[in-house]
Amino acid sequence: MLQDLYKNTNAVFLAHGYVGKLLGKTINGVIMHSTVFNVVALVDKDNAGIDTSKAIPGVRKKIPVYESFSETIKHQPKVVILMENSINISFNEIKEAIKANMDIINPGFNLLNNNTDLLSLAREYNVKLIDLREPNKIKRNPNGSIRDIKSKVVYIAGTDCGLGKRTATYELLLEAKKREINAAYAATGQTGIMLGCDGGIVIDSISMQFGAGAVEDLIVNIDKKGFDIIFLEGQAAIMHYATSSSVVLLHVGNPHAIVMVHDQKRTMHVEYGDSPIFKMGTLKNEIEIVEKLSLPGGNEFKVVAIATIGDDNIETLEKMRDRNEIPNLPIADARKIGGPEILLDAVLKHLKEKYNWRPGN
C-alpha cells in the first residue's frame, strides 16, 4: 500500500486541463483527505497564478497553481502525481521530475513502466514509477468466505459517477473514528488508495472474470485485522450502461447497510455523451433495484440514508421525500458540518435494529 512508502509526503500534481473539472476529482480527494500525500502545488496552464480555493469548488486550502513544473521545485516536493493523460501532455515535465529525484505516481491506464524511456531514466536516478492501475494479479473466483467475516460492511453506492461516493465514504470513516469506533476504509479506486486505506484495489484494472475474487480478498483481509465496521467505497452506479463494477462490489461486498449518494440536478450520466442510453433513472428506482439485488444466501440489502453534496440538493430531496416520491430516509450533505453524523446515525440505527449489533460487541 502507498502508506507503507509515504506519509504526509510533499507532492505536486501535474494536472494540465484538470484543475476544477469533474475529471479532476482525484485532485480534490487527495487535497481534502490524504494522509499519504501533502499537496504543495499544482501545475495547470489554464489556472496558473491562482490557488485551489479559487480554482476548485469546495476546496478551502490555498495551494498555488503554476504554469510549469519547474516553478514548483521551491516547495520541495518529493513525489509527482499524474492525471489520466499526463504521460501524453506532460512527458517532458515527467522526465524533469525524475531527474529531480522525485517518485512518480500514475493513476492512469497508460502505464509508466511500459515506457522504456521513462523506465530507463527512473533506474538511472533511482526513483520509483508507481502505476496504480497496473493489472491486478489476483486471479481466483470467490469462495463465499465473505459470509464468515465478523465486521459489518457499509457500502456507499451512488446513482452516477463523480458524485462524491469516495468523499462520503471517507467522511463516514472520520465520523466513526471520532466516536472511537474501530472502523476501516476499503478503497476500490486509484484515488482512494492515495488517501490512505486499510486495504485497496483498483476495481477497473481487474479482469471482469476475477473481480469478485479480488473484492472478496479485499474485504476478508481487512476483516482479519479485527475492525468493527468496514466502509466499502462504491464505484459508478447499478443503472449505468457503461459500468459494471458496481454490481460486483454490491454482490460480493454483501453489505449490512447501504448509503446512497445522489445529485438530483443530474438527468444524464456525466462524461458519456448525450445518447439516450445514458439517461439516469430516478433515485427511487435506483434504491429499489439495489435492494432487490440481494442474493438468496446473503444479507438483505437496505439503503438507510441518502447522501448528497450541495444545500440545493438537500432542499429538493426533502421536498420529494415529503411528497413520498423517494423513501422516508435521512438526507445529509456528506461535506457539511453535521452531515456525516446524520449518515452514520442512520447506519448504526439500522445495524442495531436489524442485527442487534453495536460497535465493540
The domain covering 2-131 belongs, at the CATH homologous superfamily level, to NAD(P)-binding Rossmann-like Domain (3.40.50.720)
| H or E element at residue 166 | helix 165-178
Q: Do domains 2-131 and 145-355 have the same CATH topology?
A: yes
DSSP secondary structure letter of residue 135: P
Confidence at residue 237, expressed as pLDDT on a 0 to 100 scale: 96
Provide CB contacts within 8 A for 293, sequence distance 6+: 238, 247, 250, 251, 301
Q: Digits of tens for pLDDT over the chain (361 positions)?
A: 899 999 999 999 999 999 999 889 999 999 999 999 999 999 999 999 999 999 998 889 999 999 999 999 999 999 999 998 788 889 999 999 999 999 999 999 999 999 999 999 999 999 999 999 998 777 899 999 999 999 999 999 999 999 999 999 999 999 999 999 999 999 999 999 999 999 999 999 999 999 999 999 999 999 999 999 999 999 999 999 998 889 999 999 999 999 999 999 999 999 898 999 999 999 999 999 999 999 999 999 999 999 998 767 888 899 999 999 999 999 999 999 999 999 999 999 999 999 999 998 7
* pLDDT score, position 299: 98
pLDDT recorded at residue 11: 99
**Cα–Cα distance, 51 to 41 (Å, whole number):** 9
> Would you state the cell numbers that stand for residue 293, as one nine-digit string?
439485488
Give the model's pLDDT for residue 125.
98
Phi-psi region of 201 (alpha: psi -120 to 50; beta: other; left: phi over 0): beta
Which residues make Cβ contacts (< 8 Å) with residue 71, sequence separation at least 6? 41, 43
Of residues 16, 142, 144, 13, the one with CA closest to residue 79: 13
Task: Give me the pLDDT at residue 192, please.
Answer: 98
**Sheet of 65-66, strand order:** 65-66, 37-43, 9-14, 79-81, 103-106, 129-131
Report residue 296 as a C-alpha cell: 438468496
How far from the centroid of its chain's Cα atoms is residue 288's Cα? 24
The DSSP symbol for 149 reads -
Question: Measured between alpha carbons, how far is 202 from 96 in angstroms, rounded to an integer?
Answer: 28
Tell me, what's the pLDDT at 311?
A: 66
Q: Which residue type, as a one-letter code, is found at position 280?
A: M
pLDDT at 310: 73
**pLDDT value of residue 83:** 93
Half-sphere exposure of 175 (CA within 13 A, CB side): 22
Which residue is it, cell 465478523?
Answer: 150
Q: What is the DSSP string of 271-308?
A: TS-S-GGGB---HHHHHHHHHHT--TTS----EEEEEE
Residue 222 to residue 357: CA distance in whole angstroms: 19
pLDDT for the residue numbered 292 = 98
Domain 145-355 homologous superfamily, CATH: P-loop containing nucleotide triphosphate hydrolases (3.40.50.300)
Q: Over the stretch 148-180, which tens digit does the pLDDT of each residue have?
A: 999 999 999 999 999 999 999 999 999 999 999
Q: What is the pLDDT of residue 23?
A: 85
**Beta 129-131 vs 103-106: how paired, if at all?**
parallel
Geometric angle at alpha carbon 351, from 328 and 281, rounded to 5°? 40
Parse the chain into domains and list their residue ranges.
2-131, 145-355
User: Alpha-carbon distance 235 to 162, whole Å?
Assistant: 9
